Amino acid sequence: MQYEISGASRLPIYRQLVEQVREGIARGDLKPQDQLPSVRQMSRDLVVNPNTVARAYTELEREGLVANRPGRGVFVAEPRADLTKDARRKRLIETIDRLLTEAVNLGFSEEEVARLVAARSRQFHWNTPNSAPK
């Protein structure tokens, strides 16, 4: 996977890295047990401070998306289901509400948002037992 940093982004560099890894996992570009570049390698490739990369990896580990194996590196973690279905649903609703608020403020119609969400959702890897490959 190719990582990129945008100087024009309002997000801090470590958040840009976190979001890219999160999206890579969601899209299926990064699979469980895939190894991420070392902190040193990532910082050299992106020309950023190693502490910035370490902070991103720490955040991803805190979220349970990666696992640090001392002496071996950082790997994509197996999916966890430690939150109850109700807790996961509540988090998703909060995220959807933020998305819809932004869409309304940008002047999109309900139909436009529904079409965009449907089109974009086909680009992601869904981890449900009944999901068929698209």
Does any domain span residue 67? yes
| pLDDT profile of the chain (134 residues), mean per 10 | 92 96 91 96 96 96 92 91 79 91 95 94 75 44
Same domain, 85 and 60: no
Give me the pLDDT at residue 131, please. Answer: 45
- Final residue of a domain: which of 76, 109, 124? 76
DSSP codes joined into one string, 91-120: HHHHHHHHHHHHHHHTT--HHHHHHHHHHH
Query: The domain containing residue 111 runs over which residues?
Result: 81-134
Count of alpha carbons within 13 angstroms of residue 1, beta-carbon side: 20
Give me the pLDDT at residue 133, please. Answer: 44
How many domains does the chain fold into? 2
- Cβ neighbourhood burial of 34 (10 Å; 0-12, 13-18, 19+): middle
Tokens 């932004």 identify what position? Answer: 102
Q: Which amino acid is at 54?
A: A
Question: Residue 117, Cα to own-chain centre: how many angstroms?
Answer: 17
Does any domain span residue 96? yes
Does any domain span residue 3? no
